[in-house]
């Protein structure tokens, strides 16, 4: 491998580690809204690598209808983990048509990856039990307004 390629890879890995490891390193999130069953909810929007890497890490609480929408650069069988995350969450994986393919529980600090069963373009993290309380289930349609 060329030295320039190795240097780029090393810089990339160091940046990623810094974003995850330093809670005081500010990461600004964009805003979006989602619409499900006629209800509109504002969410934080993680669409860059740095935003996705930080996610909801280090937060101690999340308001009742608050959440974070992750947009992946290309459709993939995405997975999430809960490193440095204190809040129990549910994640809905959403395909390119806006259809929920999976809803899975995420436990605080669990380092096991929880993955989508199909290729998706979005993942929506909300407080644990939120999807059930809203009667939102696999197969439902979500409209994303970035």
Residue predicted with more confidence, 89 or 19: 89
- Top pLDDT among 7 and 26 is at 26
Closest CA to 116 of 104, 106, 128: 104
Number of residues that make up the chain? 146
Q: How far apart are CA 86 and CA 62, in angstroms?
A: 10
- How far apart CA 1 and CA 92 sit, in angstroms, is 39
3-state secondary structure of 102: strand
- Residues in Cβ contact with 37 at an 8 Å cutoff, skipping those fewer than 6 apart: 134, 135, 136, 140
Tens of pLDDT, residues 46-74: 999 999 999 999 999 999 999 999 999 99
pTM above 0.85, yes or no: no
Q: What is the pLDDT of residues 68-87, one digit of tens each?
A: 999 999 999 999 999 999 99
CA-closest candidate to residue 87, choices 114, 63, 115: 63
Residue 23 — very low, low, confident or very high, per pLDDT cuts 50/70/90? low
């Amino acid at each position: 491998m060329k030295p320039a390629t190795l240097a780029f890879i090393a810089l990339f890995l160091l940046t990623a580690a810094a974003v995850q490891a330093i809670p005081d390193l500010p990461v600004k999130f964009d805003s979006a809204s989602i619409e499900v069953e006629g209800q509109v909810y504002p969410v934080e929007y993680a669409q860059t690598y740095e935003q996705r890497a930080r996610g909801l890490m280090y937060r101690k609480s999340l308001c009742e209808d608050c959440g974070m929408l992750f947009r992946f650069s290309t459709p993939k069988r995405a997975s999430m983990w809960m490193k440095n995350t204190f809040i129990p969450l549910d994640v809905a994986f959403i395909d390119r048509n806006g259809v929920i393919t999976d809803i899975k529980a995420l436990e605080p600090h669990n380092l096991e990856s929880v993955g989508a069963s199909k290729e998706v373009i979005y993942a929506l993290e909300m407080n644990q039990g939120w999807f059930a309380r809203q009667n939102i289930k696999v197969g439902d349609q979500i409209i994303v307004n970035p």
